[in-house]
Amino acid sequence: MTLIDLFPQPDLATTVLPGPPVATWRKNDLYVASNWSWFEIVAATPRDYAAFNMVTNPHGNNGGRLLAVAFGPAGSEQVKYVGPAFTKGAFGLSNAIPLAVPAGTRVSIAAMSWTNALIGAQLHFFPAPLPDLSSLTRADYGPVNLLDGGGLWGTPQNIQWPATAHTKTAWQEIINLGANNVVTGAAGTTHVYQMMGLILSHSLSASALDANAFVFDFATGPAGSEEVFLEGLHSEAINSSDYSSPSITWVPWGRPAGDRLAVRVQARTLASLPQMGIAAIGLR
C-alpha cells in the first residue's frame, strides 16, 4: 500500500510537532499572503498529490484560530486554503481538502488568532489518483461494542500504552470487539473500501489527558510483516480535557477485503494515560 506522506513530522525524541508562528488577529483580506507569517513544511513535494488532509492540534485552551495553506516560493506564497483550526473548546480538526498539489511544490502553513496560543498542524498528502468515489453507497463504522456501555460511540479498540515515554509500542491489531462491528473482524476488513477514516476516540476513563501528546503509526499486513501506510500522525490533548485531536483522518484505500489493520503509538509522558480507542469509517 502507498505510504501517505505527512509533513511536518513530529520530533520523536520529544513528541513535539513543529508549527507556524501565530500572527495577531487581523481583519485584512485573508487571501493576501503578506498578511500571514509563513512556516515551510516541505521545500518541494516529492510527487504529485491529488488532495491533502489537514490535521490541527491545540497547544492551549483558547479557540478563535485560523490556519492557512499556501503554495509557492518564499516571499511569493499563494494562499490556497483558509479555514478554522479549532472548534469551540479548542478541540483540533481534521479537514480533507480536495486540492491537487504538483510535484516540486513548496508548501507552507500559517496561523492567526485573537490570542497568542500556539498551534500544531500536519498535512497528509494523498498520491494521485484518488480512488473512484462516484459509486459509493454506504459508510460502515467499527470496531465497536454496543453491548458494553461504551460512552458516546460505543467501545472502540483500546490502545495499549508503552512502558517507556518516547518509545513506540509493538504493533497492536485493530480487532472486532463486538457483534455489531462492520469494518474489521476476525479475518480483517470485511469489505472492499475506497476510503478509510481513522478515528482516535475520546478518553473512556475519568482521568484527563493532561496536555499529553501522542504519535501514531498505522499499518496493514500479517503480524511480523506490517506495511506502514500512515506514519507519524500527531495527536495532542488539551489541559483538563478528556478529548484529543484529530477526529477523523481520511486515507485512500481501494484494497481487497481481509486486510489486517494494526497501530503502534508512543507518548510524551506516562504520568496520565487514559483509555483511548481506535475506530474506523469505511466508505464503499
In a domain, 26, yes or no: yes
Q: Which helix (H) or strand (E) covers residue 122, if one does?
A: strand 119-127
| Three cell numbers written together for 152 | 458516546
Are 57 and 100 in the same domain? yes
| CA angle (12 as vertex; 91, 17 as ends), nearest 5 | 35
* Residue closest to 78 by CA, chosen among 19, 31, 30, 43: 31
What pLDDT, on a 0 to 100 scale, did the predictor assign at position 75?
Answer: 94
Tell me, what CATH number does 149's domain have?
2.60.120
Tell me what pLDDT residue 117 has.
Answer: 60
Cα–Cα nearest to 229, from 198, 199, 267 = 198
Omega of the bond leading into 98 within 30 degrees of 0 (cis): no
Task: Give the DSSP letter string of 15-61.
Answer: TB-----EEEP--S-TT-GGGS--EEEESS-SS-EEEEEEEEEESSS
Q: Specify the number of domains making up the chain.
A: 2
At residue 234, the pLDDT reads 82
Same structural domain, 88 and 188: no
Same domain, 268 and 171: yes
Dihedral of the alpha carbons of 138, 85, 268, 21, in degrees to the nearest 10: 150
**Would you write out the chain's pLDDT as a tens digit for each of its 284 residues?**
567 898 888 888 877 777 666 666 665 678 888 888 899 999 999 999 999 988 877 655 555 578 889 999 999 999 999 887 765 444 567 778 889 999 999 999 988 776 666 677 889 898 888 888 888 898 887 766 555 544 444 555 667 888 888 889 999 888 654 444 556 556 678 888 898 888 876 554 445 555 677 888 999 988 999 999 999 888 776 554 545 554 678 888 888 888 888 899 988 877 666 667 777 888 98
- The domain containing residue 186 runs over which residues? 139-283
| Contact (CB, 8 A) for 78 and 108 | no
- DSSP secondary structure letter of residue 92: B
210 Cβ contact partners less than 8 Å away, ≥ 6 residues apart: 237, 239, 240, 269, 271, 272
Verify that 148 and 278 share a domain, yes or no. Answer: yes
Residue 191's closest CA among 270, 128, 137, 126?
137
The pLDDT value given to residue 178: 43
Q: What is the pLDDT of residue 152?
A: 45
73 and 178 together in one domain = no
For residue 137, count other CB atoms closer than 10 A to its CB: 6
pTM of the predicted protein model: 0.82
